[in-house]
Structure 1
Amino acid sequence: MFRPFSAARFALVLLLVSAAPAVAAGLDAAAINDEAAPPARLPDRRQLSAFIARLEILLDRAHFSPGEIDGKLGDNAQKALRAFAEASGVPFDKAVTAELWSSLTAASDGPAIVSYTIVDADVKGPFVKRIPAKMESMKSLPALGYTSPREALAEKFHMSEALLQALNPGRKFNKAGETIAVANVVDAGNATPIARVVVDKTRQTLSTFDAAGKLLGFYPATVGSADKPTPSGALKVTAINKNPTYRYNPKYAFKGVRSKTPFTIRPGPNNPVGVIWINLSGEGYGIHGTPDPGKISKAESHGCVRLTNWDVQRVAVGVAKGTPVAFVDSATSLGAVTETR
């Protein structure tokens, strides 16, 4: 939970952040919060940028998810920016115009970076020393928890661990009562009911709409693979499972999994399907979270739709049993996608 923002606590964060050399020159809470106007040219996608960090936070708060907030203009951030511009009726072509920036900053209030005081729940664990690379090795673990308080806090605030560390140089994030700088992202709250979901297999995105056809949320996704493609057409939500176990069936024949007998992997944020499983009517298909938020849209799935853990939570609070989920190969316009029955 966020503690109320105050100038005194924010000043404390700035003092703490300035106590050690910055990982990226000029990248601190003040630099991000002070980004009041877009640059004439967007930074290189490999460059860690205060402007991009603020841009990603604003997109996240508007429910146009950039995926993991990392301060870099990667594919997911660009997809979210283009989708926001299209939904807002504002032109976008390789530059953030004053009009687009104004629309984005008007979508939410408050500074992009705020102070947060670490609480006991953030550091008590239990934590897993190491997540095995092979699925078979995961079955012996009592839970698939976070590997460190830093990983837990980064996910709590939708950030990459690298950006969290850059904003808090020298911190270990393992002491309750310590104040750190974090992205000012809001939790899901009471979401507007989702009337339909559209999964674009070409763009690797998931969009949600209300009953009037208004776009509610836009999320980067990992959608199937060449070996295990997702379906086409329409499915429906049949169940929503929080903190799911993962049961492997040898019939799946996943690459790298040699087990000839079924096995179960226990719940946790580092479970192969993350913290939420939204079951779909097609056999074995679902929308779920991930233990690797930085790989969303950059890797392959086993036929399902994979989102970050925080994005799938946002979707889960809005859908219900029977919500239609349309799989399309491409959508020329977000608003033009019609429900497939």
Structure 2
Amino acid sequence: MHMKTTFRLRHTAALLAALLITATPVSSVTALADQYRGQRMVIVDTNGQLMREIPEAGSVRIVVDNRGRRLLLDNWDQVIGLEIPAWQYQGQSSIIEPGEGPMMDPYGFPEAPPPPRQQVSRDPFSEAPRARIERRDLNPTTGTVPTRPKIIEVPAAEEPAAPKQQAQPAVKTPMLTKAQVTALQVYLDRNGMSPGVIDGRMGSNVNKALDAWYEATGERIDPADTDLILARLAADGGLAFSTYTITAEDAAGPFVASIPADYAEKAKLERMSYTSTLEMLAERFHMDEAYLKELNPEADFSLPGVQIKVVATGREKSGKVARIVADKGKKQVRAYDAAGKLLAAYPATIGSTDTPSPSGEVTIERIAPNPGYTYNPKINFKQGNNDKILQVPPGPNGPVGSMWMALSKPTYGIHGTPEPSTIGKTQSYGCVRLTNWDAGELAAMVKPGVTVSFIE
């Protein structure tokens, strides 16, 4: 075995043993800081908590990812632990001494490093334009494992010159992991510049939120500036990921088996409730339902006491909105105070070609939380064979979601939706559609009489 590899394995084993000694309960953050002051490294699990059980010999592999971090992988190549300096211990910001550096990077989890064949692609944090990768085996008894690539510069003379007529490719920004994008989405969400559903993906709604942030602050945030996002998350509301324990009330519902598409069938239901605890919790934490499931693949969301990984959304934006702009072209709603300062921005679905939204200026006439919905084919739209007026009961899965802000133009309003992942990506029947949580936040900041300006 290579001398450096042997040292790493022995070093990490020693850390695991030391951790068992130092993992006794402490009464305060100060005591915890004192406990680790003389110890440089600790092992934490994927939730950022101290690993209190030493894995059995042969049950883990130690690898170095492409950012230089030592990871503990089980026999199924799942990350179960991470070696970090003690001062970076997640969630204990007061442990950081002045000048020691930033808190723990939250972006490496919950995602495990990709399999070896995918791992050896270019390091997204490397500035080397041309390189070949040399693998290093950290554990010959278990085969080649992912390591931090060793970058070997290739002299320009070894590569054929590109044809003169060939256009130079654009410089690409580093590809972000889902966890990195999630942190950016959480930061924007906490500050009232909604990215819509939090799903760990860069897209039009995130870019619109970044533009809104620039309008409000004059600052351009680089999505790849992880240090900046990390520091701001740590300073206000904590890191992007958190844990939540499902309660008996969560599991009890009430729920409905499914939501029919036909309005006549909708009208027969007692309530337009959620269809599952998963759907309910995804909306509570502003998350895409599929992403919440992806973060917790083994979780049974119907059982009280189950602990799940969620994103840590913050408090709702507050303030007094004096004017709202519904931007049809950008598919975004922006809310301004009396001084013209942008308070909040939300991705929106605003009308369609067949059923356009209003033009010019209207006002908010009334605000109705948890609204029912009246289907009138002569006024709204015609669905199938439904030719009668129908009363659809209230609920978050109702046609207008859990919030309705009626506009002075009859039958039009700003409202929620039962399908938050479609916001900004589909069309509506003329109204302004937001996610339920964004509609609720906006409604808390407006009063009847607030002007709504529709712009093209």
Using the size of structure 1 for normalisation, the TM-score is: 0.82
In structure 2, what residue type is equivalent to 1:82?
D
Aligned to 1:33: 106
Q: Deviations over 1:143-171 (max 9, x none)?
A: 11011000000000000112111221211
Aligned to 1:129: 257
Report the Cα offset of residue 33 of structure 1: 1.8
Q: Deviations over 1:42-61 (max 9, x none)?
A: 538xxx61111111111111
Call closer, same or farther: CA 1:221–1:21 in 2, change over 3 Å.
Answer: farther
Preserved contact between residue 219 and residue 307 of structure 1 (Cα < 8 Å):
yes
Q: Please, what is the CA RMSD of the aligned residues? A: 3.4
In structure 2, distance between residues paired with 1:265 and 1:167: 34
In structure 2, what residue type is equivalent to 1:198?
V
Residues 22-61 of structure 1: pairs in structure 2 closer than 5 A: 33-34=106-107, 41=173, 43=175, 49-61=178-190
Aligned to 2:307: 179
Call closer, same or farther: CA 1:12–1:141 in 2, change over 3 Å.
Answer: farther
Report the Cα offset of residue 275 of structure 1: 0.2
Q: Deviations over 1:294-341 (max 9, x none)?
A: 000111111000000000000010001111111111xxxxxxxxxxxx
Aligned to 1:139: 267
Aligned partner (choices 398, 401, 416) of residue 274 of structure 1: 401
Aligned to 1:316: 443
Structure 2 unpaired stretches of 5+: 1-28, 30-43, 53-72, 82-89, 91-103, 110-123, 126-171
Report the Cα offset of residue 14 of structure 1: 9.1
Call closer, same or farther: CA 1:104–1:9 in 2, change over 3 Å.
Answer: closer
Aligned to 1:258: 385
Report the Cα offset of residue 253 of structure 1: 5.2
In structure 1, what residue type is equivalent to 2:348?
A
Preserved contact between residue 178 and residue 200 of structure 2 (Cα < 8 Å):
yes
Preserved contact between residue 9 and residue 115 of structure 1 (Cα < 8 Å):
no
In structure 1, distance between residues paired with 2:428 and 2:235: 33
Call closer, same or farther: CA 1:161–1:284 in 2, change over 3 Å.
Answer: same
Aligned to 1:154: 282
Residues 65-104 of structure 1: pairs in structure 2 closer than 5 A: 65-91=194-220, 96=224, 101=229
Preserved contact between residue 180 and residue 226 of structure 2 (Cα < 8 Å):
no
Q: Is 2:309 aligned against 1:236?
A: no
Report the Cα offset of residue 210 of structure 1: 1.2
- State the structure with more CA Rg: 2
Preserved contact between residue 20 and residue 169 of structure 1 (Cα < 8 Å):
no
Call closer, same or farther: CA 1:63–1:13 in 2, change over 3 Å.
Answer: farther
In structure 2, distance between residues paired with 1:20 and 1:192: 52
Call closer, same or farther: CA 1:19–1:86 in 2, change over 3 Å.
Answer: farther
Call closer, same or farther: CA 1:85–1:271 in 2, change over 3 Å.
Answer: same
In structure 1, what residue type is equivalent to 2:285?
F
Preserved contact between residue 188 and residue 317 of structure 1 (Cα < 8 Å):
no
Residues 300-315 of structure 1: pairs in structure 2 closer than 5 A: 300-315=427-442
Aligned to 2:337: 210
In structure 2, what residue type is equivalent to 1:252?
I
Aligned to 1:293: 420
What secondary structure sits across from 1:72 in the alignment? coil
Report the Cα offset of residue 188 of structure 1: 2.2
Using the size of structure 2 for normalisation, the TM-score is: 0.62
Q: Deviations over 1:203-259 (max 9, x none)?
A: 000011111111110100000000111111111111100110000111135253431
What secondary structure sits across from 1:251 in the alignment? coil
Structure 1 unpaired stretches of 5+: 1-5, 330-341
Q: Is 2:206 aligned against 1:116?
A: no
Aligned partner (choices 275, 287, 291) of residue 163 of structure 1: 291
Q: Give the stretch that moved more between structures: 59-68 or 256-265.
A: 256-265
In structure 1, distance between residues paired with 2:49 and 2:179: 20
In structure 2, what residue type is equivalent to 1:57?
V
What secondary structure sits across from 2:189 in the alignment? helix
Call closer, same or farther: CA 1:96–1:232 in 2, change over 3 Å.
Answer: farther
In structure 1, distance between residues paired with 2:295 and 2:180: 14
In percent, how many aligned pairs have the same letter?
41
Preserved contact between residue 196 and residue 210 of structure 1 (Cα < 8 Å):
yes
Call closer, same or farther: CA 1:219–1:22 in 2, change over 3 Å.
Answer: farther
In structure 2, distance between residues paired with 1:321 and 1:257: 35
